Chains A and B, each alone.
Chain A
Amino acid sequence: MQTAQTDGVRFQPASDQSLLIYFGQQISPVAHLRVRKLLRLLERKPIAGVRNLNPAYCSILVSFDALRLTHVELEEILRGHIHRLDAMRIPKGRELKIPTCYGGEFGPDLNEVANFHGLAPAQVIELHASVTYTVYFLGFVPGFAYLGELPQALATPRLDSPRRSTPPGSVGIAGNQTGVYPFASPGGWRLIGRTPIAMFRPARKAMSFLAIGDRVRFTPISTARFAALERA
């Protein structure tokens, strides 16, 4: 029987060895919860022949061994899983803090973001640190968390030309998202600060500091505190 919750689910082959499953076409808490549930189900009870999972805002890309599965077979198995999502319980995300030193050399775009919105830099900091963000998913590079939603008053377009290299720990904003660059990588997000926290720690069991579903707040710190935390 088709339940109301299977409505809005769409399957789309992405390549000859991957299938996208969409939960609607917009970023929403409902879609996010369904992504988390299906991801958890697929991680706990892996489907034979599935190689990799890439969760995102309202979709999961499922990569598979094309010698063992077809799109049609995989879709059928996934449809069975989707029926079970409503009854699934999922633990609440952790509450975490990201100490951040805003502006100066750590946040080279802070003043421009302030000017763009007609705000003072201090107001941008206050707004950015005023809300609790949800980790929608990890992607792009190891340990990069897509955090939302940014207060509407701070929504800012990406840089016209991306930086070739963004220092690790940089806190950026783009559209209504915010995030922290774990590694020196190219990036088009506007940088407003930097955290001394390592976002990806390969020596630990949980390598990524943040996990999908976590709740995150940024807390402003001084450059002295940044240096102290970096040494610790």
Chain B
Amino acid sequence: MSTIEIHAPGLMTTVQDLGRQGFGPIGVSPSGAADPISLRLGNRLVGNEENAAGLEMMLLGGTFVFPQGAIVALTGSDFGAMLDDVRVDVGASVHVHPAQTLRMGPTTSGARCCLCVQGGIIVKPFLGSASTHILSGLGGFEGRPLRKGDVLPIGRGVKRFRKRVISPQASENFSQRKSLRVTPGPQADWFSESSLRAFCAGTYRIGEQSNRMGLRLEGAAVTQNSEREMISEGVSLGAIQVPPGGSPIILFVEQQTTGGYPKIANVISADLHRVGQLRPRDEIRFEQVTFDAARSLLVEQEKLLASRELILE
């Protein structure tokens, strides 16, 4: 069986697929790739199903050796990858020969880089998914981020190597991380008009304490205009909740499933992948759109992902 050896793990490298849906009733959030579009594209570059498990790296990449060789692709942000002493482009399939070393460094763009391997990373599924859920120590490889010395099996690759590249236009389209479009949250009317305006007009900085559970936002405090008492309720992916201190938090892939803070807004589905690329200290703005517009943007995005011009052979 083919394997991938972890010679250096990077800052936080986890096994992720597109997550596990349907376990909200027992408190399990979906988890899954923080930038699911990068995972989908990476899998397509190497000839996998879009949901195959890959490695998600954060801010600082790892060093990996493939004793039997492999067909791989890096997608998302550029972590300055080298295959032995040759520079490896992001967004292209790469043929790794036996015993070659793939080495990555710190990011030169966004927060995350995805490593996809033909055949996928093989782990024991938890609730039908390979995704790591860090807080509960479940799923992925032993329920934890990878460490030096870990050896992970790779599924059988059956396809011959084909050079595939994501079109530069598409890469450009998916790499924007200056703004997030939002729809009104379920408690948007608990906030004053001026507070809502300030939220959309202001610039927010991503806090250092951000992780896969949530991203803390630093900027103009958002004040509540309601004396109503919040009763805990289900929280959606990308919900922007506002605790009493007024500093908003974007709930993310490994989020708590329910919560008791009011939500002012929610990141639209078509922009969730951008959240996964936000680094601490990045500055972003919010732009409010209607539910109809959000839906159109998602349809448009899926159309682009399905288009023949997306991946060049």
Q: Tell me the bound Cα distance from A129 to B269 in angstroms.
A: 45
Flag B217-259 by CB within 8 Å of A: 1 or 0 each: 0000000000000011111111100000000000000001111
User: In the assembly, what is the distance between CA of A84 and CA of B302, in Å?
Assistant: 36
Inter-chain residue pair count (beta carbon < 8 A): 141
> In the complex, which residues of chain B have a beta carbon less than 8 angstroms from the beta carbon of A107?
none
Residues of A within 8 A of B266 (CB): 14-16
* Bound complex: CA A57 to CA B258 (Å): 10
What separation, in Å, do the CA atoms of A25 and B233 have in the docked complex? 11
CA–CA, A111 and B233, complex, Å: 31
Q: Does B24 contact A (CB under 8 A)?
A: yes
Instruction: Give the residue name and chain of the A residue nearest to B28 (CB).
Output: A142
Contact among B231, B234, B238, B291 for A25, CB-based, below 8 A? B231
Q: What's the interface size class on B, roughly?
A: 35 or more
Contact present for B269 and A16 (CB under 8 Å): yes
Contact of B268 among A16, A26, A54, A182 (CB under 8 A): A16
Answer yes or no: B26 CB below 8 A from chain A CBs: yes
Other-chain residue from A12, A13, A17, A140 in contact with B257 (beta carbon distance below 8 A):
A140
Chain A nearest CB: distance from B238 CB in Å?
Answer: 6
Bound complex: CA of A207 vs CA of B139, how far in Å? 14
Residues on the B chain within 8 Å of A66, using CB? 269, 294-295, 298
Q: Is A83's CB within 8 Å of the partner chain B? A: no
CA distance A56 to B257 in the complex (A): 10
Q: What A residues does B298 contact at CB under 8 A?
A: 16, 66-67
Could you give, for residues 109-152 of chain A, a 1 whenever the CB lies within 8 Å of some chain B CB and a 0 otherwise? 00000000000000000000000000001111111101000000
Taking CB atoms and an 8 Å cut-off, the chain A residues in 198-212 that contact chain B are 200, 202, 207-208, 212
Q: Which residues of B contact A140 (CB under 8 A)?
A: 27, 256-259
B98 close to chain A: CB less than 8 A = no
- In the assembled complex, A223 has its CB within 8 A of some CB on chain B: no
Q: Are B239 and A14 in contact (CB under 8 A)?
A: yes
Q: Which of A25-73 contact B (CB under 8 A)?
A: 25-27, 39, 43, 51-61, 63, 66-67, 70-71
- CB-CB under 8 A from B238, the residues of chain A are 15
Complex interface: chain B residues within 8 A of A212 (CB): 25
Interface mask (B59-87 → A, CB under 8 Å = 1, otherwise 0): 00000000000000000000000000000
Shortest distance from the beta carbon of B301 to any chain A beta carbon, whole Å: 10
Taking the nearest CB of chain B, how far is it from the CB of A231, in angstroms?
Answer: 21
Contact A143 B26 (CB under 8 A): yes
Binary per-residue interface labels of chain B (284-309) against chain A in the complex, 1 for a CB within 8 Å, 0 otherwise: 00000001001100110010000000
A20 lies within 8 A of chain B by Cβ:
yes
B25 adjacent to A61 (CB under 8 Å):
no
**B257 CB → nearest A CB, Å:** 5
Whether a CB of chain B sits under 8 angstroms from the CB of A183 is yes
B212 to chain A, nearest CB (A): 13
Using CB atoms, name the residue of chain B closest to A211. Answer: B26
Apart from A55-B24, A59-B233, A139-B256, what are 15 other A-B pairs with CB-CB below 8 Å?
Answer: A12-B186, A14-B263, A16-B269, A20-B233, A43-B25, A51-B22, A53-B22, A53-B234, A57-B232, A59-B234, A63-B237, A139-B257, A140-B258, A141-B257, A207-B26
Residues of B in contact with A (beta carbons under 8 Å apart): 21-28, 30, 126, 133, 135-138, 183, 185-186, 231-239, 256-259, 263, 266-269, 291, 294-295, 298-299, 302
A selection of 25 A-B contacts at a CB cut-off of 8 Å is A14-B235, A16-B298, A18-B236, A20-B234, A25-B231, A43-B25, A52-B21, A53-B234, A54-B25, A54-B257, A55-B24, A56-B234, A63-B21, A66-B294, A137-B25, A139-B258, A140-B27, A140-B259, A141-B27, A141-B135, A141-B257, A142-B23, A142-B27, A202-B138, A212-B25
